């Protein structure tokens, strides 16, 4: 007897196969010099630590420019973030960036985190104002940095000598405007202030409306911003969760995505195919407009990101692939 979901499953399989067949998927990268980076979140349990190790091991062969580890609202995951950064830095060959927020922290506390990062070999900081903890309207504290531009300047002041020359700072950008910004112009001015304060590049919030990113990029260039602006790509691991998260951060979801993912809760393999196709086509369209760097929000689920990169032609290098498994085993052993 056929299950009630089988016809829908076959329909989506046929639709996905036809969609793939219409694309001339290349066997080489979509453009010369494509670069990728990956973002993880800090695990809260031993099982999560092992999962992060597995995630890093699966994605390390793709030779990312860097991987980053996020901070929770108000620095709530600070200890776990630093632990994850420490392990990834010491036990893999990955270049690791540590997130740093200033909400709820004094300048002295921020400086201590910077020193801890430098001590384990981190030379890349993702500097963000951060979200206030639940129940706190603003999150600012006396003696702290008021915004991300002040934080960037503070990092540059705090780090001296050769370490300062080697330190890279990334900041956030919002193609569809930060939810708390007064206007699109004010949000763009904020980005410019962060870059003028000493940041090297911007990593954007995830988005699904590719045209919104391209308009934002044009506006940034017209405003005199010349620094790299790297698009944030979020492969859809769970569509319902993505919808909830998007509502909170002001990311729009096109109607066609609702139609495309409808009915796939009971067809996980088809969901994976559709999600990888959506993310890869988003990157391909951006590449057609000259974009060659992509920052993937992995949600510590590497399969979709790895599949997307493969579709794009980002393949493992032989030497890196040979050492990735050993590096992952080391991290997992430490976690256990």
User: Which residues are identified as catalytic?
Assistant: 39
**Rg of the chain over CA atoms, in angstroms?**
20
* Pairwise CA distance, residues 173 & 169, whole Å: 13
């Amino acid at each position: 007897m056929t299950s009630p979901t089988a016809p829908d499953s076959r329909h989506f399989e046929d639709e996905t196969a036809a969609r793939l067949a219409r694309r001339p998927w290349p066997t080489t990268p979509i453009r010369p010099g494509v670069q990728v980076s990956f973002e993880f979140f800090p695990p809260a349990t031993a099982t999560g630590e092992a999962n992060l190790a597995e995630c890093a091991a699966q994605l390390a062969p793709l030779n990312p420019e860097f991987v980053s580890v996020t901070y929770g609202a108000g620095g709530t995951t600070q200890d776990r973030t630093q632990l994850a950064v420490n392990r990834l830095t010491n036990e893999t060959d990955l270049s690791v960036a540590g997130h740093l927020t200033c909400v709820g922290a004094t300048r002295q506390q921020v400086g201590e985190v910077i020193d801890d990062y430098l001590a384990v070999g981190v030379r890349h900081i993702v500097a963000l104002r951060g979200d206030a903890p639940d129940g706190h309207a603003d999150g600012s504290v006396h003696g702290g940095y008021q915004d991300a531009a002040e934080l960037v300047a503070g990092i540059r002041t705090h780090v001296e000598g050769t370490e300062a020359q080697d330190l890279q700072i990334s900041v956030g950008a919002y193609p569809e405007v930060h939810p708390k910004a007064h206007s699109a112009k004010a949000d763009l001015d904020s980005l410019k202030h962060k870059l003028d304060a000493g940041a090297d590049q911007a990593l954007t919030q995830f988005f699904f409306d590719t045209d919104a990113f391209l308009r934002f990029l044009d506006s940034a260039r017209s405003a005199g911003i010349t620094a790299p602006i790297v698009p944030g790509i979020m492969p859809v691991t769970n569509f319902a969760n993505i919808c909830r998260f998007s509502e909170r951060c002001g990311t729009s979801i096109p109607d066609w995505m609702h139609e495309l993912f409808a009915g796939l809760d009971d067809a996980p393999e088809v969901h994976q195919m559709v999600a990888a196709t959506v993310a890869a086509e988003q990157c391909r369209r951006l590449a057609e407009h000259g974009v060659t760097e992509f920052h993937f929000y992995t949600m510590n689920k590497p399969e979709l990101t790895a599949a997307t990169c493969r579709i794009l032609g980002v393949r493992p290098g032989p030497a890196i692939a040979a050492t990735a498994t050993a590096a992952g085993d080391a991290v997992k052993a430490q976690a256990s």
